Amino acid sequence: MIKSTSQEIRVAIQWQWKTRLGISNERVAFYGDASKQRFEEYRVDRHIEVNGSYQFSNWFLPVIPKDSSSMPPQNPEDSDKYIIKVSEDPEISVENRTARLSFVVNRDEPYSEDNRIWINWGIFDSAFDTDQDKVQGSKEAQDYDIFLTYSDYFDRVFVNGLYWTIGLTGLTGWFALPLQTVPMLALLIYVYWVPISIVIAPPS
């Protein structure tokens, strides 16, 4: 229970999904300072072992303080990947004894029926508190659904290849226009065909 401005709220989330090469995992811990009434920091757990698993379960992650040597420092390169949404109202309220975390994740994630997620959290007395009894949430994973958006129907590798082909053939001088005709037609046909294919045969 949130009852003091000296407390820290930690939220650990792990995603898992299948890829062509096997199983991928991604895990991040968010840290909220009750005195600041905000979640302002996070750490991405990069301790992936050879078998694709972490050194410890997601349930244990909230126990580890953000400045521990077991956690890598916040990487500036992750600033565009995890974006904490700042609310006009306090996200952590000692008066109401509530905490709210909102964030956006920018990454490619495959559309499948085997996506899993672990969510664990804890309200700790300070930024240095490591009491395991304060951790909440299930140790078991939960399934979650991924829904396709319009842009997901496009093969970005194929489209990017056509753009590169058109661009490189532009360096051939007078031969550029005839050489660009085929990839340009392929691009136009593909762009117009995708929405038609969605209507004709939508994915199950």
Digit-coded pLDDT (tens) for 60-79: 999 999 888 878 777 787 88
Q: Which of 68, 74, 99 is nearest to 5 (CA)?
A: 99
CA distance 9 to 1: 10
What is the pLDDT, as a whole number, of residue 181?
87
Q: Is the pLDDT of residue 10 over 60?
A: yes
What is the pLDDT, as a whole number, of residue 204?
55
**Secondary structure class of 184 (helix, strand, coil):** helix
CA distance 172 to 159: 21
pTM of the model: 0.73
pLDDT (tens digit, 9 = 90+) per residue, 36-60? Answer: 999 989 998 877 654 566 777 899 9
Q: Is the pLDDT of residue 120 over 80?
A: yes
CA distance 168 to 181: 13
Mean confidence (pLDDT) of the chain: 84
Question: Residue for token digits 């005195």?
Answer: 35
DSSP characters over 115-140? -EEEEEEEEESSTT---GGGEES-SS
CA distance 23 to 49: 12
CA distance 72 to 35: 24
Q: Is the pLDDT of residue 152 over 80?
A: no
CA distance 35 to 116: 33
Residue 159 structure tokens: 């489209």
Q: Is the pLDDT of residue 194 over 60?
A: yes
Under a CB-based contact definition with an 8 Å cutoff, are residues 115 and 15 in contact?
Answer: yes
Helical H runs in the chain? 156-169, 176-200
